[in-house]
Structure 1
Amino acid sequence: MSPNPALSWNAAPPAPQRPVVTLGEPEGYDEHVRARPIGARVRGRTVAATACVVLGLGLIGGAATGSWLIGDSGETGARGAFATAGSLWHSVPVDQLFPPTVRGDGAGPGGADRVWTRIAVAPDSGCADAFDPLLRKALAPVGCRRLLRATYTDATRSHVTTVGLLFTKADATGMRSLEARFEDEALGRRPDLMPRPYAAKGTLAAGFGDEQRASWTVSVLTDAPVVVYAVSGWADARVVDDPQSAAEAMRSGVTTAVGQAGLGHEAKGLADRVERGLRKSVTSSSERPS
């Protein structure tokens, strides 16, 4: 600690101090014209003001504590919405999660509009045969509570796309961890982690198998225990040797057959709109009185 200059041997002697003169306290007058010290009046007002401040702080603190005790906060609302989303697979009609017709305004290449028509809905199931082994391993940390899938075709009936909603067993921390891994390791762009399609017999998608997968997208939600994905291909059951993720197939200037056919837009556009519908269902269910 540095020495105090005032205590140094070389410090100058202190300046002589002026005498202190104490004056008597001025007087005022009360309502009976009796002399009264002004200081008393000031002290009274100070005490009253202090009491008001203390009372106000007490009321504010009590209100804040009450709000915390009843859980009136955005964090509590988010936890409630997360829990609500996890139960939608058995409480929301299939037509609400997978509408018979989905409009995709501006969802096609160059901002073209798209319209998809549902041609098949898979029975709700587990995840045993829904994913390739590597993708199943990547999703294992969040578990599988239920899997819902539907397959659509575009207005020209040239393409088929399966969209899926994987309801997991994970909490918010688990979903954030999975999302971070998909982002950091670019798992959503690896062809060996493509989701499998739902090829319903007797429909336009009957020949939509693993070898027909052309483009795909996987979205790990962090505000709901759900993974949304879609995988697209041609409706004529042609084999695809070089599939591309939707992010790659939608790049400007892409020259691949998958990109030029707009199959990346098919997967991404349909997945995004099913995800929006899911969020709307979560909001409606959360606001519904119990």
Structure 2
Amino acid sequence: MSTDAEFADARHIPPIPPQPPRRPAPAGTPTPSPEPDGDPRTAVLRRVPADPSVPAPGAPAAPAPPAAHPVPPRPAVPPPAAGAQPPARPDRAPAAPAPAGPAAPTPPPPPTGRPTTFRDTAAFHLANSHGLWSDTRARGTGGGTGAPPAPRNPAAAGSPAAPGSEPPAPPAGLPHQSPWPATAPPPPGVAPTVGAPGHQPSGRQPSALRPSPRLLGAAACLVLGIGLIGGAAAGSWFTDEADAAPPTAEATFAKGREVWHNTPVDRLFPRTVTGLAAGPGGADRTWTRIAVAPDSGCGHAYDPKLATALTRAGCVRLLRATYADATRSGVITVGAQIAKADRPGMTALNTRFSTKDLGTRTDHLPLPYAAKGTPAEDFGRAQRASWTVRILTDIPVVIYAVSGFADGRAVTEPQPAEAAVRPGATTAPAESGLGHDAKGLADRIGTDFRKAAGSSTQTTEAPS
């Protein structure tokens, strides 16, 4: 059987008073038998001291030990009390009696109530230590984090101290443990102080949920960027739609008057022009540009009668270029006169040239451009073999072409290009292909001027 109850409150055991000295027995008195305390064969049983936590009747109440401090471990051997004699041992002779001293006070009788020595058992500690870690009743009531839980067993906390007594002191040898900080809940009806932990002022958003100024600026820039990109895309879409729409005839006609100074010369007079099936018998023809004349007026570009016939159109500018065929045996001068007339005036001029055959008369020929140092330097009035004149009606431009031999050979009977390209023609311009050169090159240059002005109209007017 365990004797834990004997040493549970060893620190509160009062010292055992020494035994009083024996008086010598009078003479003639028989010697008594040895008492149990002096008998080495008899175990000495000591009285269990009274529980100091329970005051004796009529005695002042002793201070109760603090419940918050743990009970120190039970010593293996109880320390001997001051002035007490060690217990007798069987292997030794009885000890000599201790010298007489002052009489010790008689210990109070044990209380009749329930002893508290059972608190040093392992079952008691296991039953009462669970609340220190898992009991959340104190925190749930608003007592603040860190407040120690209330003991579940009222008896474990000890008896309440008597009124007027001093607070119990911690046991000797144990460090002082400060209680856990606790935050008392505010009284009912009192609002918590602003700035207290866990309190957010009303009407204000927590900083964790409030967006930062940098985030707001980035969002604004993103919205503006998307808006600008969307606006540019929409503007480009509308512009493409406007460009895709066909221009009006008036706009094309007005633009045709400006192509001479805002269009590259290589686009109006390409360096190389290919005429598919443009030669005699449907053969392909190729013409290479050998000279470009400076833009000028129209006074020296035609025979006098042709110049008089074109006076009604007016002259803004005259553009000319000279080409040579692939064999360098024929040369062709192509010209474009930018007219001042409006659309009805150009239409009326085209009708006049068609009905009166002004373009087929031998006294209505254009003049060639004979550039020095080129195969066309001997190309003059006598070398003109075939020609054509076109009065365009969709743009204010008069296109003409005149061809001849590159070796300076004179031609006595020039033939219009439209007559020289007919099947079965046996004239020199027809057999040499100079009629095909004049007609084919005039058609290609007229198409380039129309494209520069944005017109999709094909050649509808009859060659003059």
Task: Give the TM-score normalised by the residue count of structure 1.
Answer: 0.71
Whether 1:131 aligns to 2:302 is yes
1:179-221, CA deviations, whole angstroms, 9 ceiling, x for partnerless residues?
0001101111111101111000111000001111000000000
How far, CA to CA, are the matches of 1:225 and 1:280 in structure 2?
Answer: 14
Which residue is equivalent to 1:281? 452
Distance 2:428 2:281 in 1: 16
Aligned counterpart for 1:249 among listed residues 416, 420, 440: 420
Paired amino acid for 1:142: A
In the alignment, what sits opposite 1:90?
A: 261
How much has 1:257 moved relative to structure 2? 1.0
Q: Which residue does the alignment assign to 2:169?
A: none
The corresponding residue for 1:264 is: 435
Distance 2:393 2:327 in 1: 35
Partner of 2:344: 173
Question: What residue number does 1:209 align with?
Answer: 380
User: Who is 1:8 aligned against?
Assistant: none
1 CA distance for matches of 2:299 and 2:357? 24
Cα displacement string for residues 58-86 of structure 1 (whole angstroms, at most 9, x for unaligned residues): xxxxxxxxxxxxxxx98x71000000001
Question: Residues 110-137 of structure 1, C-alpha deviation per residue, up to 9 Å, x if partnerless?
Answer: 1100000000000000011111100000
Q: Which protein, 1 or 2, shows the higher relative CO under an 8 Å CA cutoff with sep ≥ 6? A: 1
Residue in 2 aligned with 1:35? none
**Letter of the 2:374 counterpart:** T
Specify the code of the residue in structure 2 equivalent to 1:99: P
Quote the offset at 1:280 in angstroms.
1.1
How is 1:15-34 mapped onto 2 (pairs within 5 angstroms)?
A: none
User: What SS is found at the alignment partner of 1:240?
Assistant: coil
> Higher helix fraction: Structure 1 or Structure 2?
1
Q: Which amino acid aligns with 1:159?
A: G
CA deviations over 1:236-269 (Å, ceiling 9, x no partner): 0111100000011111101111111111100000
Counterpart pick for 1:146 among 317, 326, 339: 317
Aligned residue number for residue 330 of structure 2: 159
CA-CA distance at 1:228 after TM superposition? 0.5
Q: Name the SS for the 1:255 alignment partner.
A: coil
* DSSP-derived class of the 1:236 partner: coil
Q: What letter matches 2:434 in structure 1?
A: L
Structure 2: distance between partners of 1:161 and 1:212: 11
Aligned to 2:86: none
Partner of 1:197: 368
Could you tell me how far apart the structure 1 residues matched to 2:345 and 2:255 are?
17
Q: Distance in 2 between matches of 1:247 and 1:189?
A: 9
Between the aligned partners of 2:402 and 2:422, the Cα distance in structure 1 is 17
The structure that is strand-richer by fraction is 1
Looking at structure 1, the residues matched to 452 and 340 of structure 2 have their Cα atoms a distance apart, in angstroms, of 19
Greater C-alpha radius of gyration: 2
Does 1:111 find its partner at 2:282?
Answer: yes
Letter in 2 for 1:93: P
- Matched position secondary structure for 1:239: coil
In 2: Cα distance, 1:276 partner to 1:169 partner: 20
Residue 271 of structure 1 and its aligned partner are, at CA, apart by 0.5
Runs in 1 of length 4+ with deviation above 4 angstroms? none
Structure 2 alignment gaps of length 5 or more = 1-244, 456-464
Provide the residue aligned with 1:52 in structure 2: none
2:371 maps to a residue whose letter is A
- Where 1:191 maps in the other structure, the secondary structure is coil
Deviation by residue 1:155-187 (Cα, 9 ceiling, x = unmatched): 011100000000011000110010000110111
Paired residue type of 1:140 = T
Q: What displacement does 1:145 show?
A: 0.5
> TM-score, normalised on structure 2?
0.45
Matched residue of 1:166: which SS?
strand
Alignment: residue pair count = 212
- Identity, in percent, stands at 60
Unaligned runs of 5+ in 1: 1-72, 285-290
Match of residue 138 from structure 2 = none
Find the aligned partners of 1:111 and 1:186 in 2 and give their Cα distance. 27
Q: Distance in 2 between matches of 1:79 and 1:133?
A: 32
Please report the RMSD computed on the Cα atoms of aligned residues, expressed in angstroms.
Answer: 1.5
Aligned pair partner of 2:272 in 80, 101, 113: 101
